[in-house]
Structure 1
């Protein structure tokens, strides 16, 4: 069996050795299970909450492109893979398509239904930790912001930050800022402004040519009139991307007028804002059409021919108003392309509501949830008990190695052994001891961490239940993909197979 390793640490404050320790633990795990490591991927000081992880993305690209063909992907802990449940579910699904199974060194999860659901509980805890940490970091940043000091990252073009984190004007960059505002006020468009900046040799803060997005950011930034602004940009979307054109609610934004030195006059700034707002209204086209999310894509199958069913749509005109509308449905891929299957298409809303109701009844009802939580807690507790004996084994092995090392050292000291003959053996034993100590430390950490109570499992299941009612279809889709194994559509029946049964209505699967 072939395996690859993915390791990362998410803070510049963590030591580089933490990646080395993860790789060592993953390598030992592979050796214990008889896997052959064919490649190792790493990301340093990257967050698992976003896709800004070149090592991870390279790994996914090479797997999908068949450049590497592993059977397993080994991580030290689930949160090394991803701390966002949607991100985790998406990539694991991609890996499953490629025949790759994710395995964690410290969380021994198999492919059983209980293990799959328990994994989501662990991911939920990791996501909670990540968001809680972000909240605590934000508290400290807000205190800094209330003093109108720089909170991190690059300051805007035209500003530098002194040793006290106070904004000061960068006189070599400020002329570019003034040019941008003055040209926009004079009616010049973005292309003309970009040309002028290029001809004058001006660059962005990163030393790159200006683009339209960077111009927009500059023209909307109140710091240029001396107003300190913090926490304006809207939060990142589920893909970890941020639209800097969107803003948070005013009550969440800190603004302190006359707190930093101004680069341009207020009158110039507000004239430009008025022009930009007018253009925005003129260019409005009634809004873009919302992208339709098919909640069951990848999970729904034709029960007549065994092929996948895919989301599709068609348009029609209403009889009275002749308004153009769309119908959305799922149809058999085989029936659509080859016409060799006679299964009918099924209305998108109808089948999705059927599956959601099935989940609410068999997994998230008041009767089912405590039973599922108990089942998961028992499974988790038994796994912990099975792992408990590993500590005794490792301690015995360590004691045995210590005795062997001591015997060799004593023999060398007494002169009853040839030093050269025992040097190789001694080095081998010391390496073995280091490996055992590392394994024991990992075992100890595992025993101390993640003591999941029945109440905590029930709380996380309740969070999933609430997510089913989310206005964001991607959130709903995430829950469905976690708890639904397959939906099978026949000409006269619908079968919903859930990941786990809790025996409230005769089984978790079925129609």
Structure 2
């Protein structure tokens, strides 16, 4: 594991001379990241990274704008790194001149991510610097060196990932547990001479094991997934995380060979990219070192019943019913899903009735909620007719736009006033720094007084920046969130036309989910409100023609507005 390099020997004392201060002091954004405790112990610690980078900035005469820190986050992807996302947002507003990291792989280990970030910074006239790797991305030579280091960093990450995967497969083939939580067992750490590795083994948790045995018992007695789920939830059984059981959770338990004493590993390949869609036809299944909870006879009986039931064809129907997910249960707020009941007529024929029912009820049983069903034919027709009526009623659109914008201004105007006042205070801090520097140069105050004043001003600046950032988030970056009649009219008209011309049910479902955020229903099983969402995705899909040329519809920054029909 690479150690942090020794600090540069900063023997030159900091000096403030007039020639250096004629130019504006460069603002530096420090970015630091650490992914694991092991790396921190080996010298990658956040505190050590930021300490060295601050000292480097001090020696170079730079001013630290802000420290952006991601703790315990992998560099494999830029997603999920809140501080990095904030850094890029601030870079878009040109708040600093340089981004400084201890090592380039702290920024990203994926070469594509790294090149895209550096290219984005370059477009904002922001330089990228690595303390450990001396190159400048503004020069051809520096760019070549950077690209080579990026390739090496990605190779290193891929190589480490491959070695780790091979090690885990080898452990699974030995019958050892590779970590993770599973109902019925506790994962206990095993002492090892290698402090870099943490080994675990499975020990039966008798309280949870009784729940597992109950699940297998109910299934061998002929109960289905939903019946078992309902029974367990009524009896008070809970999952490993303390939640109610679901149908999918029951199926996962019944198909997991860990309960009969086997280790199964590498079921799904390339999980981070393909999630559940890349099933390994030949996973590792070996006799484990742990005690089984279920005997072999029960296991074989369960698998035999599953194979028999698997021959029944599954019904695929979710795409035909466009309101699943966006229609909410009035009792628990869960998304509504499709449910069917079968009635027999007097002449003996069967009639299938289709409803939107509570997803929690269908998946977890009556212990979770009631069905709260609403007929699909009524709901689908009502929602589309309501949208079509709104799109055709100019007066209604005018009134709605006026009400939405009026409500928006009541919220944003006080925030905008506060933002302007804070911005003036921020400018005043820089002015105070310049005055203090002048006093120092004229030998009116000492160097220690200057540092003390700068420190107090920096602390005040951080407080102001935090509040400004919070206001910007509330305002939606630039605050341009009002809507116009023309924009709403065009979007709604284009939606109605697209919906009518949709060829498949799945297309109609996608369109409705793009426009509608939620649909609420009352206790009388009638639709109460349809909440429409106007955001970037909706505009990019439906905003055409005259709406594009509207000067009031500048939604380059992220925004989202909701209103009810």
TM range (shorter): 0.3 to 0.5
TM-score (norm. length: structure 1): 0.46
Q: Comparing both chains, which one has the higher relative contact order based on Cα–Cα distances under 8 Å and sequence gaps of 6 or more?
A: 1
